[in-house]
Amino acid sequence: MRTPFLFLLFFFSLHAYAQPQTSAPTGSLKGTVENAKTKANVHVVQVSITHAVTGEKKSVLTNYYGKYFFEDLEPGIYAVQTYHGNYYDTLLLNVAVLADSATKMKIKIRAREVPVVVVNVSLHPPDNLYEITYDDEGPDLPFYSGTWWTEENISTAGYDLLAFQHLLVNPGKVKRLEISIPPHGKIPPEIAQFTQLERLRISFYGSPVLTDELWKLSRLKKLNIHSDMPLTVPPGIKELQQLEELIFSCKELQPLPDEFAQLKSIRILSLNSCGLTAVPPPIAGLTRLRWLSMNGNKLKTVPAFLTGLTELRSLGLSYNELPEIPAEISRLIKLEELYLENNRLITLPPEIGQLTSLRQLTLEKNQLTVLPESFGKLEKLTSLQLEQNRLRELPASVGQMTALTFIFASGNNLASLPREVGMLTQLTEVDLKNNKITVLPVEIGNWRKLEQLTLSGNRLITLPASVGQLDSLTRLFLLGNPLRQLPAEITGLKKLECLELEKLGLLQLPDTTWNFINKFGYIISGVPDSIAGKPVSYYLKHPDIDPFSKKFVQGKLSFTGDSVTKIVLNKISQANRDVLPFYFFIMHTCMQEDHSPGRDPDFIFYAYHQLREAAAHFVLTRPCTFCAAIKSKEYAEFYDLWRSFITCSMGAYTENADQQIKAGYARLKKNCGSKYAEEYEELIREIFCSGKG
């Protein structure tokens, strides 16, 4: 066994570990989390540790960021139990000399070969988790995590020495292990002693080398290898005959050895983001494979041998460079999931309709212009994802896909829907935004289970009266459509919680329908008697005030995220002195409205940001008017409110921002000289997130 090095542990990371001695006792040593308190304005957990021989308890303090504070402890062996929110850690500590100066966050080792182990105390497990699971006969040590440091590796986080002595007391009890290997590190040879190991994850932070010790783990069922560098798989992997799940994640997977095909027990194989340009031929021998994922590679073809894996239930080929899918795909008759998004597909073979076991199919972000009529034979499909293609229409046969609950087809060129979509009575969500749809079929009224319908960014002028039959509908999105009419039946949508549409062309709706759509937004409560000392009637009759703004102040127009709202908010930048108080009133009323997350998030996003942009635009284009008003007695109380709304409203400082700022200064100088220069500079910094003044 290797003798531990004398080393200096300097840690600004989350945890620091060294090698425990083999003589460390096991069993009944315990400690408890006693209390939480505050030290130096950070969350601190106090942990009680117990000396193995004397039974004396001492305390270890750790702040929320993983730095450690120690009281005086004698060298010896301790045990500690730390609570992580949902589980406990019970670990042995071989303690040497602890920090004599906690503020320096340093541990000094005396001139004796005694290592130190520091236990993580955190509300959340760390990223570089080193996990151990015992069977029922051994102690319960679910998580063990940390970082090793040596004199040679003092500035690099990772495991430079992986000592398993604390486990090797009874290695046959270890069933699961997760380890991390630092740059220039290697898999510890002791790993071969874990003869009962069933699950192993190894993360390499340098060049990965799979050593022969791995192939001695004959009971291994799940193996996960992660690296950001090229990975070579040795022929010895064939020895893992009980392996059922294998995951490789690396920058570039070198050609797999022919012996790889001998892994007959593999059911799950993941080769995501491995830099593959072709499907590795040895995969053809994995005839029992049920789940194969090769997403995020550079595959340009689907080889014929891949379609010979007839036991496949799930196949992932997303984010590759596939221009087509071969007709032989029809051989995968047991396939339930097929992931093809973000490829270069222009068409699909008619044979895809023979995959009658499919339940999920993803085709978004391709170049599809048409779907084969055989598509309708996918009668078990529950989710259809077609976003961001070039589809001009959906086949009538889509009506046969009666198990569908979701249709996502946004960002295509659809001009209409086939009447047969009315047969899809199990639908709960349909997203057709950003198409060219001009009319909807009456048959959509059969979507009685539909909860969300998204039609934003189309060319709809009205909706069919049957929309009133959508009893379960809670969210309806229609922004970006040139609506001119709505059926009275829309008022029958009793469960509707969110409605987004353009009201600009709907001002002539009957009162009942108008009042229904108007309630989805902020409506002013209580019309004021006067504004800035003048009766409100003065403004409501004023010819220089637009009709939309008058409706808003009268409580007849809701504040939402549509174009009408934008018109009203931006009027303040055009208002003359006589009507300016009226528009100040609108801005202040909207600013003081509840914009909390409890409101509909889409309402918040559109309406709130329109308000911020309108406020910033007013400050930039009419600096003298704004500064003069906000300095006045009447509006001074709103200054902080304006600042909160304009802060970062125009984003970070850019060249375009520079042009706007210079134009603003020019207006300021022309209209009021340098009177408000200081105030304007402060506001500019707010608008552009500390941009130049």
- DSSP output for 534-569: EEHHHHHT-TTS-HHHHHHHTT-S-B-SSHHHHHHH
Dihedral pair phi/psi, residue 397, rounded to 5°: -65, -10
Two tokens at 502?
């353009």
Dihedral pair phi/psi, residue 646, rounded to 5°: -90, -15
Dihedral sign computed on CA atoms, order 414, 417, 421, 427: positive
pLDDT under 70: residue ranges of the chain:
1-171, 173-174, 594-605, 649-657, 690-693
Report the pLDDT value the prediction gives residue 168, as an integer from 0 to 100.
54
Report the pLDDT value the prediction gives residue 583, as an integer from 0 to 100.
93
How many CA atoms does the CB half-sphere of 169 hold within 13 Å?
Answer: 14
Report the pLDDT value the prediction gives residue 160, as an integer from 0 to 100.
28
Measuring CA to CA, which residue among 263, 299, 305 is closest to residue 281?
305
Q: What is the 3-state secondary structure (H, E, C) of 170-182?
A: CHHHEEEEEEEEC
> Which residues make Cβ contacts (< 8 Å) with residue 410, sequence separation at least 6?
387, 388, 431, 432, 433, 434, 435, 454
Helices (H), 323-372: none
pLDDT tens string 614-670:
988 888 888 888 888 888 888 888 888 888 888 776 665 455 667 777 777 777 777
Measuring CA to CA, which residue among 254, 213, 273, 201 is closest to residue 237?
213
Report the pLDDT value the prediction gives residue 239, as an integer from 0 to 100.
96
Distance from chain centroid for Cα 120? 27
Sequence length of the chain is 693
Report the pLDDT value the prediction gives residue 161, as an integer from 0 to 100.
32
Report the pLDDT value the prediction gives residue 153, as an integer from 0 to 100.
26
CA atoms of 113 and 130, how far apart (whole Å) = 25
Strand 383-385 and strand 360-362: the pairing is parallel
Q: Which helix (H) or strand (E) holds 61?
A: strand 57-63
| CA distances in angstroms from 171 to 165, 195, 288, 378, 650, listed in the order given | 9, 7, 31, 51, 61
